[in-house]
């Protein structure tokens, strides 16, 4: 049987649920239920400087998660709110933080990983609200992983794209968007804002949106996952 690796993406909304309560324990309950090997997070830090982590480091580590070192000074979990956590058996060989163009401060994290399915690059991002800038941001990311070499790549996160991902294809040569179901808003999803794009050398074996309680209230997004394998 072909070995797969499960990657998930989840916009935490700073661990503030739709009941307006900040519940990191509830957010972590949702993350643990995904049974993922790697989880890419958005809005993982509080908004104001020094942007401390909304999901505490010690809480993650007590549940067996390894925090990849993209955090800034001040105890933040990631870069521009983007963070990445992994289970045992996943090793970071190289990491890079990227600033992205646009009116709003946006960024991405790029992790080159040693995984049970081989070397894998995972890029996590949270794109802007205006399509013009989303396309600029995707062009920067596409150029980055092309320049870095031919390592199989998963591009994932909150793309903020309400329509078909076909609109993003010209800005993302070298990757193909996987078919994923709607994930936003959590109580009654109507848009697939959270998604994955795969480079050559990778295949999507299965995708899913996690709807089990308390995901319906823990954030305004539902988490999305994908099982990837070598093509």
For the chain, where are the alpha helices, taking DSSP H only? 24-33, 57-62, 131-148, 215-218
How would residue 149 be classed by pLDDT, with cut points 50, 70 and 90?
Answer: confident
Q: Which helix (H) or strand (E) holds 196?
A: strand 194-199
Closest CA to 79 of 49, 111, 109, 116: 109
The pLDDT of residue 12: 98
The single residue listed with the structure tokens 């990837």 is 228
Rounded Cα gap, residues 153 and 145, in angstroms: 8
Q: How far apart are CA 29 and CA 214, in angstroms?
A: 8
Going by C-beta distance under 8 Å and a sequence separation of 6 or more, which residues neighbour residue 64? Answer: 87, 88
For 53-86, the pLDDT digits (tens) are 999 999 999 999 999 999 877 789 999 999 999 9
Distance (Å, whole) CA 113 – CA 80: 21
Model pLDDT, residue 15: 98
Longest alpha-carbon distance in the chain:
48
Q: Are 29 and 20 in contact (CB under 8 A)?
A: no
Mean pLDDT of the chain: 95
Burial 126-150 (b: 16+ CB within 10 A, else e): bbbeebebbbbbbbbbbebbeeeee
For the cut 90, the answer to whether the pLDDT of residue 1 exceeds it is no
pLDDT of residue 51: 82
pLDDT at 202: 98
Please give the pLDDT value at position 106: 95
Beta-bridged to residue 92, according to DSSP, are 113
More confident residue, 49 or 97: 97
Statement: residue 167 has pLDDT above 90: no
Exposure of 10 in the CB half-sphere (CA atoms within 13 A): 31
pLDDT mean over 154-161: 98
Q: What percent of the chain has pLDDT over 90?
A: 88
If we measure between CA atoms, which residue out of 87, 62, 57, 60 comes closest to residue 72?
57
What's the confidence (pLDDT) of residue 16? 97
Residue whose pair of structure tokens reads 């935490």 in the numeric block: 12
Write down the CATH number for the domain with range 5-230. Answer: 3.60.10.10
Hey, what are 211's tokens?
């709807």
What would the pLDDT profile of 175-213 be if each residue is shown by its tens digit? 999 999 999 999 999 999 999 999 999 999 999 999 999
Confidence grade of residue 32 (pLDDT, cut at 50, 70, 90): very high
Whether residue 132 is predicted with pLDDT greater than 90 in this model: the reply is: yes
| Measured CA distances, 195 to 54, 58, 93, 159 (Å) | 22, 28, 24, 7
In the predicted model, is pLDDT for residue 48 greater than 80? no
């Amino acid at each position: 049987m072909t070995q797969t690796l499960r990657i998930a993406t989840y916009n935490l909304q700073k661990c503030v649920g739709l009941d307006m309560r900040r519940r990191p324990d509830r957010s972590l309950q949702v993350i643990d239920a995904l049974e993922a090997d790697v989880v890419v997070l958005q809005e993982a830090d509080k908004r104001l400087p020094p942007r401390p982590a909304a999901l505490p480091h010690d809480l993650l580590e007590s549940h067996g998660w390894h925090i990849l070192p993209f955090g800034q000074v001040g105890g933040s979990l990631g870069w521009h709110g983007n963070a990445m956590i992994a289970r045992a058996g996943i090793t970071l060989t190289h990491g890079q933080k990227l600033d992205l163009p646009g009116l709003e401060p946006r960024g991405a994290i790029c992790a080159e990983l040693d995984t049970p399915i081989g070397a894998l690059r995972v890029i996590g991002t949270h794109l802007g609200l205006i399509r013009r800038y989303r396309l600029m941001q995707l062009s920067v990311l596409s150029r980055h992983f092309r320049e870095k070499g031919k390592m199989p790549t998963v591009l994932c996160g909150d793309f903020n794209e309400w329509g078909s991902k076909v609109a993003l294809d010209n800005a993302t040569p070298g990757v193909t968007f996987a078919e994923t179901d709607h994930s936003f808003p959590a109580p009654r999803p109507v848009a697939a804002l959270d998604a994955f794009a795969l480079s050559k050398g990778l295949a999507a074996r299965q995708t899913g949106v996690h709807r089990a309680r308390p995901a319906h209230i823990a954030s305004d997004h539902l988490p999305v996952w994908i099982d990837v394998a070598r093509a």
